[in-house]
Structure 1
Amino acid sequence: MKRELLGVIDATTYHDDLEDLLTHRSLAALPFAGRYRIIDFVLSNMVNSGIRSVAIFPKMQYRSLMDHLGSGKNWDLNRKRDGLFFFPSPIVDFDGNKIGSFENFAANLDFFYRSTQEYAIITNCNTVFNMNFRPILDWHSRSGCDITEIHHKDGGSMEMYLIKTSLLIKLIETRNETGYTCMNDVVNDLQNLYSVCHYEYDGYAVMIDSIENYFSTSMNLLQSEVWQQLFPKDQPIFTKVKDEPPTKHVKGSEVRNSMIANGCVINGSVENSIISRGVKIGKGAVIKNCIIMQKCQIEENCYLDSVILDKDVKVEAGTHLSGTAQSPFVIRKGTQQGALMNS
């Protein structure tokens, strides 16, 4: 019988260094690459690996995440049997940076009891990568290990764990006796009773945990070799489908080495930037090395360099904003930024 995998995505992660972008959303729902969200990568990887049952465990500010994923239709997870499941954490006070909280899982233990999949893959929600988990399952079953922790070729854990579902249930049930609070605790305990193996992944992978590496990872997408590793044709990254018109490039506008999503109106100059859906850029505006999120409005004669505009930001005519690659200038969602405010 074919071995089946259960997908478990821990979406409780929060990093203080991303606070400006997480005021109204969870990290899993952070926009990326113009039309995606961070969670799209791990969720699509699971679907491409043949996983048909995925449980997502969010903590706070998860309305945006649920709106994005909906019933799971865009990932072929809106099914009568198995499918996509949301289990918001009933526990407010726990460390969201420890992947695979047993206390969090325990509140939904019935889900694991009912699952028919022999194995489970437990992952974080904030890694940008493209991986098929099936070869890892084959490697794990041949190795005879109890737990396989996925490591990146550059060293260090990717905070992803493959384990038998029955053993996961046991770890959850015995958490008070063992003192293990999460998967991290188990694999890092040198005296644990389980054999822990490491599987090395040699592909492109970045864990988003700060504004700086969110910005740099986004800018790396403009390199064709990185794009090809993340978006191969045989393993697509799925996302929420939105029916919008093509972007309009007004006569006199200029776009170089940039990604432009649907529904935009470009009057000005865009260079080395990522522009999300529905953005309007006015005449004479210059946008360089920027991430502009959905439905932002940049009026005439603005100059933006190394700037991140969150959704629904309006930048008034003549405004000049500049940051650096190490410290991009961030404007929070729904803010109105005016020239007089920066003079």
Structure 2
Amino acid sequence: MKLVAVVDATVKLPELEDLTLYRSAASIPFAGRYRLIDFVLSNVVNSSINSVGVFPSYPFVSLMDHIGRGKSWDLDRRRDGLFFLPVSSKDIGQMSVGAFPALAEHMNFFERSRQEYVVITNCFTVCQLDFEDMLESHIRSGADITEAVSGETSLKSYILKKELLIDLLHTYRDKQIFSIEDCVKRKKNSYVFGTYEYTGYFAIIDSIQSYFNESMALLDKEKRERLFLQGRPIYTKVKDEPPTRYMVGSSVKRALVANGCTIKGTVQESIISRAVTIKKDVKLDHCIIMQKCTIEEGCDLAYVIADKGVHIGAGVVLRGTAEKPIVLRKGESVSKEDYR
């Protein structure tokens, strides 16, 4: 394959702050059993790319734990494979994909790679982008830089020649262009810009509201089938957990439930991650419950996002709205006294 991939996990998304206090956006759980980075890494390997540089910024322990050496994506190779390339640069734009100061910290990665072209992509666009097809379109067009779009929406994925990227990394300060996204937005005359039209499913997760809306949208079977395609699987870290147990008296309707859970209550229109415990007489409606949460007896929750390891005490009643879901932060413990 002619492509080396750059997965930019440095982009800061302030409107996701409640979910990124202890992790980067790339490792936010999504659709029950996945993390956001799973989708871009799966796009990469499904496009026959076997050399990938993941550029994370602090905090990245959660991300490191999830992707490891890339075994779940068949990227743990002696030649090429997955490279974890943390960055320390402080002049990275808040919403700028492919920040040159960050990439320049690992110039050696690009200089040593054998591939002729580079795809620079992000972790917060969930889609099924075919980078092989995008590269063919880029070469046919004769453009210097090609951007993936869906209608008027940028998917913030870019292809260019590696030698052009290296030149940009050496000269970005003089040219006052600080990222590949910035370069495309400014469209300076010295380069030819092209677009690649993507027609499949996509979701941009850049706020709590978009995270909630796009998560709930996947309860629709038709939308799930547009994202989870046959022949282009979404890979994730494998965990050996037992099947979910649905106990006598439980009721689950229109929900996505991962493995390892124990459910005794009522769940509807909700997404439940791995190893969640939902006890007797609990009612969940339009909730996102992340892994290893415990919800004690008699709770009534609607439009709630509970991050990993949240404990909700007996009898707690929490009611958010579709426009403003309640977010419980990672490891938080909630009792009735907290919401009197």
Is 1:274 the equivalent of 2:274?
no
139, 143, 164: which one pairs with 2:161? 164
Question: 1:140-193: per-residue Cα shift (whole Å, max 9, x none)?
Answer: 11111111011112x121111110111111111111222211112221234331
Partner SS for 1:174 = helix
Report if aligned partners of 1:186, 1:192 keep a CA contact under 8 Å in 2: no
Report if aligned partners of 1:305, 1:322 keep a CA contact under 8 Å in 2: yes
Whole-Å Cα distance in 2 between the matches of residues 189 and 267 of structure 1?
Answer: 55
Whole-Å Cα distance in 1 between the matches of residues 43 and 338 of structure 2?
Answer: 44
Report if aligned partners of 1:59, 1:92 keep a CA contact under 8 Å in 2: no
Whole-Å Cα distance in 1 between the matches of residues 132 and 287 of structure 2?
Answer: 37
Superposed counterparts of 1:287-306, under 5 Å: 287-306=284-303
Question: 1:190-224: per-residue Cα shift (whole Å, max 9, x none)?
Answer: 43311001111111111111101100000011001
Report if aligned partners of 2:91, 2:101 keep a CA contact under 8 Å in 1: no
**Cα drift, residue 19 of structure 1:** 0.8
220, 223, 243: which one pairs with 1:223? 220
User: Would you identify which runs of 4 or more consecutive aligned residues in structure 1 move more than 3 Å?
Assistant: none
317, 329, 333: which one pairs with 1:332? 329
Fraction of identical pairs, as percent:
49
Is 1:119 the equivalent of 2:117?
yes
Whole-Å Cα distance in 2 between the matches of residues 328 and 236 of structure 1?
Answer: 30
Superposed counterparts of 1:147-186, under 5 Å: 147-153=145-151, 155-186=152-183
Is 1:16 the equivalent of 2:14?
yes
119, 135, 138: which one pairs with 2:136? 138
87, 92, 95: which one pairs with 1:89? 87
Whole-Å Cα distance in 1 between the matches of residues 150 and 303 of structure 2?
Answer: 29
**Cα drift, residue 67 of structure 1:** 0.3
Report if aligned partners of 2:187, 2:193 keep a CA contact under 8 Å in 1: no
Partner SS for 1:270 = strand
**Cα drift, residue 30 of structure 1:** 0.4
Report if aligned partners of 1:149, 1:199 keep a CA contact under 8 Å in 2: yes
Report if aligned partners of 1:12, 1:97 keep a CA contact under 8 Å in 2: no
Whole-Å Cα distance in 1 between the matches of residues 225 and 329 of structure 2?
Answer: 31
Report the residue type matching 2:330 in the other structure: K
Report the residue type matching 1:126 in the other structure: F
**Cα drift, residue 247 of structure 1:** 0.5
Superposed counterparts of 1:245-256, under 5 Å: 245-256=242-253
3, 9, 25: which one pairs with 1:5? 3
**Cα drift, residue 77 of structure 1:** 0.2
Whole-Å Cα distance in 2 between the matches of residues 192 and 329 of structure 1?
Answer: 47
43, 61, 64: which one pairs with 1:63? 61
Equivalent residue, structure 2, for 1:315 = 312
Whole-Å Cα distance in 2 between the matches of residues 276 and 191 of structure 1?
Answer: 45
Whole-Å Cα distance in 2 between the matches of residues 40 and 50 of structure 1?
Answer: 16
Question: 1:84-132: per-residue Cα shift (whole Å, max 9, x none)?
Answer: 0111112134214211111111111011000111111101111111121
Report the residue type matching 1:218 in the other structure: S
Report the residue type matching 2:57 in the other structure: K
Where do 5+ consecutive residues of structure 2 fail to align?
none
31, 38, 43: which one pairs with 1:40? 38
Task: Compare 89-98 and 155-164 and name the one that shifted more.
Answer: 89-98
**Cα drift, residue 262 of structure 1:** 0.7
Equivalent residue, structure 1, for 2:101 = 103
Report if aligned partners of 1:148, 1:163 keep a CA contact under 8 Å in 2: yes
Question: 1:225-277: per-residue Cα shift (whole Å, max 9, x none)?
Answer: 11011111210000000000010000110000001111100000000100000
Report the residue type matching 1:245 in the other structure: P
Report the residue type matching 2:59 in the other structure: Q
Equivalent residue, structure 2, for 1:27 = 25
**Cα drift, residue 292 of structure 1:** 0.1
**Cα drift, residue 5 of structure 1:** 0.8
Partner SS for 1:236 = coil
Whole-Å Cα distance in 1 between the matches of residues 328 and 186 of structure 2?
Answer: 42
Partner SS for 2:183 = helix
Partner SS for 2:234 = coil
With normalisation by structure 2, the TM-score equals 0.98
Report if aligned partners of 1:245, 1:262 keep a CA contact under 8 Å in 2: yes
